[in-house]
Amino acid sequence: MDQAELIDQVAKELGISNAQSQRLLKATLREIRDLLREGHAVTLPHLGTFDTATYAEHRGYRPAGNDFALFPKRRVPVFRTGSELREDVYDIELEEEGVPT
């Protein structure tokens, strides 16, 4: 599913136009991004938690240059799935393989 399909699906589910659905999705993602930039975690019940992880400055191998380099300290976004989502996806995979749940 791509963004356009998600927008269509949300619009149908909520009974709103595609334009309204697109604005809703963009506003939600923008708010999550802004909160992560400020260092806040965002938890969506039954889905998971968007957060950031900080990696210290470290020395590592750079294959392009075939040498070692010093990589700077950086902060990256991370996502941890919620237990309900994890269980739902796990159950679906078991059903598809024909394994009784």
Confidence at residue 79, expressed as pLDDT on a 0 to 100 scale? 96
Taking only the tens place, the pLDDT of each residue in 17-40 is 999 999 999 999 999 999 999 999
Taking only the tens place, the pLDDT of each residue in 55-84 is 999 999 989 888 999 999 999 999 999 999
Q: Which two tokens stand for residue 68?
A: 């070692």
Binned at pLDDT 50, 70 and 90, residue 47 comes out as: very high
Angle between helices 3-14 and 18-37 (to 10 degrees): 110
Binned at pLDDT 50, 70 and 90, residue 45 comes out as: very high
pTM comes to 0.73
Question: Distance between CA atoms of 6 and 91, rounded to whole angstroms?
Answer: 23
Question: Distance between CA atoms of 91 and 79, rounded to whole angstroms?
Answer: 21
